[in-house]
Structure 1
Amino acid sequence: MPNPLKYNKKFDELNEEEKKLLEINKKTIADFVEQSPAISDVNYATRNAHAKTYGIAKGTFWVDPDIPEALQPFFDKEKFDLTIRFSNAQLKIKNSKRDIPAYGFAVQIKDENGGLLANYPLVNFPLFPINSVSTFLKLFTAINQSYNKKWSSFFSLAAQLIKTIPSILTGSFIKNTLKLIGKKNDFILSFNYHSVGAYRLGDHMIKIKISPKSIDKTTGRKQKIKEALKNYFQNHDFTADVLIQICYDLKDQPINKLNVEWKNSPFIKIGEIKINKGSLLDSQTCTNELLSFNPFESKLIFQPVGKIQKLRDEAYKVSVQTRRKINKLLHGK
């Protein structure tokens, strides 16, 4: 294969304006999480994104025996233990039968001693609608404020949404949006899941894709998603291929342009995820809300790359710290 482009910390660097906007955004994240029990009408503090947990499962990552030689040093064991969270991207938890099909498949990888190797929060839409860090921070701040301050921030939110329109009018974004609309009623486990941004693999930079095998997309159509997921794992195993793309050229595989798909970088299978039937954990526990899938808690050689990704570092920290503080106060844990 051609020589991969090497990681450089310059891909992650924020300018001074972006840093100031990030500090404002962090405050609104903390405010949202503190108010989240009332916002979602639950007895615990929720995440400020992907608030709704459908289920937590234990699984295994089996390394492909034919993995390319250049990648073998990163996968030096036959298998790795996983914790997987299935979620919905909405900030507010709603007790509805059918949620919008914006699903999360967050994967936590442990070593043989139970130590954390990597967290990968994956989603069922491969692109992100905003490339500008400033635009994203202003929009996310306005969204958080809209939940806390209701109508007083409506015009600010509307103005920021208008600014995102040009970046969603790419061929890649329109194609994937139409594809998602066509699959809106499909079973949560039948979707492909993607890392929206890039991640390090040592000095390489990669994108990740999980592709399920032999899943009936019509499963559970008359059930709530949580119920359908529970029923599925009572009777079935789940298997999915784990694939990566490698960055060779920023023109074809841009790091900080997230609204287009990578091209001229073939998918490489590195292994499979296996979740055995009966592996879904008890969802009626606050312990699930204390779990963190922050990708910046990963080993350095597996961490996210890019400016939008960098924002998640501080956002995750504020969210999980506030969530754990509130939940310990509420539940005495």
Structure 2
Amino acid sequence: MQFKKEKLELGKEYPIAGEIAGIKEIEQISIEALKQSYPDNVRPVLRDAHPKHHGCVRAEFIVHDDIPNELKIGIFKQPCTFTAGIRFSNNKVQDDTKKDVRGMAIKLFGIEGEKLLERQKEEKTQDLLLINHPVFFIKNVQDYVEFFRSRQLSQGNLPLKFFFLNPNPFKWHLQEFIIGMVMLNKKVSSPLAIQYWSSTPYKLGDRAIKFTAVPSSKNLISSVAQTPDYLRQAMIEHLNNQDASFDFLIQLQTDAKKMPIEDPRVEWKSPFHKVATIQISRQQFDSPQQMEFCEHLSFTPWHSLPEHQPLGGVNRARKQVYEALSESRHNLNNVVVKEPTKEEFLELFG
């Protein structure tokens, strides 16, 4: 007997069987790995993902007034300028000359309305997380569990077992391996000079979107010496002398099959619409106090209004895992898990 496949709907999630148990296993593996990596005599405890930051900068997130009416939802519902803190990072603690995934995490301040996370409903922040690649290399929670199991056995190194060591070649994760290699092999001159993508989908009201931040051509600078921390130095040299900016664009899901919610390995093919400008003024951001503040910040796509809820299995896993890791990391560092206020941020970065 043949079963008729369920017709996919725009903006709708389709969780797989066993997802809740899988997310719990990822959480347990992640917490155990964090504790093993940071025994009592090793502090501070760094993030599991993107632990090396080049710095946090002060920015303005300027929502435009000429965007299509169908996009005027949530933080985009009306023209507005939000204060923002932006953390630029590497996925690993290592020499910047080594190939790695780069991240851009945006925290908007002054966001009114009840938020998704139960313990932070009254906070006035909204996070937007991006990496310098348009797609993610994991399809769903089941594959995420396999990846974390393999990474545990490889002690944090590239888990080749996940990609290739299944006896059945038809079960190799070749597509995932190719995406991962492309992500790791991009040449970066400055965190301010590259494009970033959400890679995973999010709500925009009843619709689904992805988003991207595109650097201005003026963000390019002459190359700096390839030191272990040259990406931070590139930011310092640029922002000592001139402003930087990014265009922020969103992309609507227009085909539920060709632009899936539950498979972030697939790049969506639909137009991007500019909805905001990120303006980063000249500033100094690398004092010890600023770098410590940056270290204690917590970012998750679930620091969010319901209108921008993260979608898909990878994001559903992030909700529980990121929250547990943040709480564990802050507890081990004897730091209270707390969203900063706009005033606290501007006191250091204003």
TM-score with structure 2 setting the length:
0.78
Corresponding letter in the other structure for 1:86? F
Deviation at 1:56, TM superposition (A): 0.7
Partners of 1:105 and 1:193 within 8 A in 2: yes
User: Runs of 5+ in structure 2 lacking a partner?
Assistant: 1-8, 113-121, 165-170, 337-350
Corresponding residue of 2:43: 43
Corresponding residue of 2:59: 59
Alignment partner for residue 158 of structure 1, among 133, 157, 160?
A: 160
Alignment partner for residue 257 of structure 1, among 251, 263, 266?
A: 263
Corresponding residue of 2:330: 324
Separation of aligned partners in 1, 2:242 and 2:177: 40
Separation of aligned partners in 2, 1:85 and 1:102: 14
Corresponding residue of 2:342: none
Separation of aligned partners in 1, 2:21 and 2:315: 17
Deviation at 1:77, TM superposition (A): 3.8
Partners of 1:61 and 1:81 within 8 A in 2: yes
Partners of 1:89 and 1:104 within 8 A in 2: yes
Alignment partner for residue 267 of structure 1, among 237, 262, 272?
A: 272
1:189-219 CA-to-partner distances (Å, cap 9, x unmatched) read 2111000110111111100010000222653
Alignment RMSD:
2.9
Corresponding residue of 1:89: 91
1:39-82 CA-to-partner distances (Å, cap 9, x unmatched) read 9x963011111111110111111112311122234322421111
Corresponding residue of 1:210: 213
Instruction: Label 1:62 to 1:23 Cα distance change in 2 as closer, same or farther (>3 A).
Output: same
Worse overlay, 62-71 or 199-208:
62-71
Separation of aligned partners in 1, 2:260 and 2:221: 32
Instruction: Label 1:283 to 1:200 Cα distance change in 2 as closer, same or farther (>3 A).
Output: farther
Separation of aligned partners in 2, 1:279 and 1:69: 38
Partners of 1:21 and 1:138 within 8 A in 2: no
Map 1:1-333 → 2, pairs under 5 A? 6-8=10-12, 10-11=13-14, 13-16=15-18, 18-37=19-38, 43-74=43-74, 75=76, 76-90=78-92, 93-94=93-94, 96-111=95-110, 115-144=123-152, 146-147=154-155, 157-162=159-164, 165-168=173-176, 173=179, 177=182, 181=185, 183-214=186-217, 215-216=219-220, 218-223=222-227, 224-263=230-269, 265-278=270-283, 280=285, 282=287, 285-328=291-334
Deviation at 1:25, TM superposition (A): 1.7
Corresponding letter in the other structure for 2:87? R
Name the count of aligned residue pairs: 307
SS in 2 for 1:296: coil
SS in 2 for 1:278: coil
Deviation at 1:310, TM superposition (A): 0.8
1:136-160 CA-to-partner distances (Å, cap 9, x unmatched) read 2221233245437x9xxx9xx4321
SS in 1 for 2:72: helix
TM-score with structure 1 setting the length:
0.82
Partners of 1:129 and 1:164 within 8 A in 2: no
- Moved beyond 6 Å, runs of 4+: none
Corresponding letter in the other structure for 1:61? F
User: Runs of 5+ in structure 1 lacking a partner?
Assistant: none
Instruction: Label 1:141 to 1:232 Cα distance change in 2 as closer, same or farther (>3 A).
Output: farther
Separation of aligned partners in 2, 1:119 and 1:97: 25
Worse overlay, 48-57 or 133-142:
133-142
Partners of 2:212 and 2:250 within 8 A in 1: yes
Deviation at 1:282, TM superposition (A): 3.3
1:148-190 CA-to-partner distances (Å, cap 9, x unmatched) read 7x9xxx9xx43213266332478xx59x929x74x51432221
Deviation at 1:258, TM superposition (A): 1.7
Partners of 1:57 and 1:280 within 8 A in 2: yes
Corresponding letter in the other structure for 2:332? I
Deviation at 1:221, TM superposition (A): 4.6
Deviation at 1:272, TM superposition (A): 0.4
Separation of aligned partners in 1, 2:308 and 2:172: 30
Instruction: Label 1:115 to 1:33 Cα distance change in 2 as closer, same or farther (>3 A).
Output: same
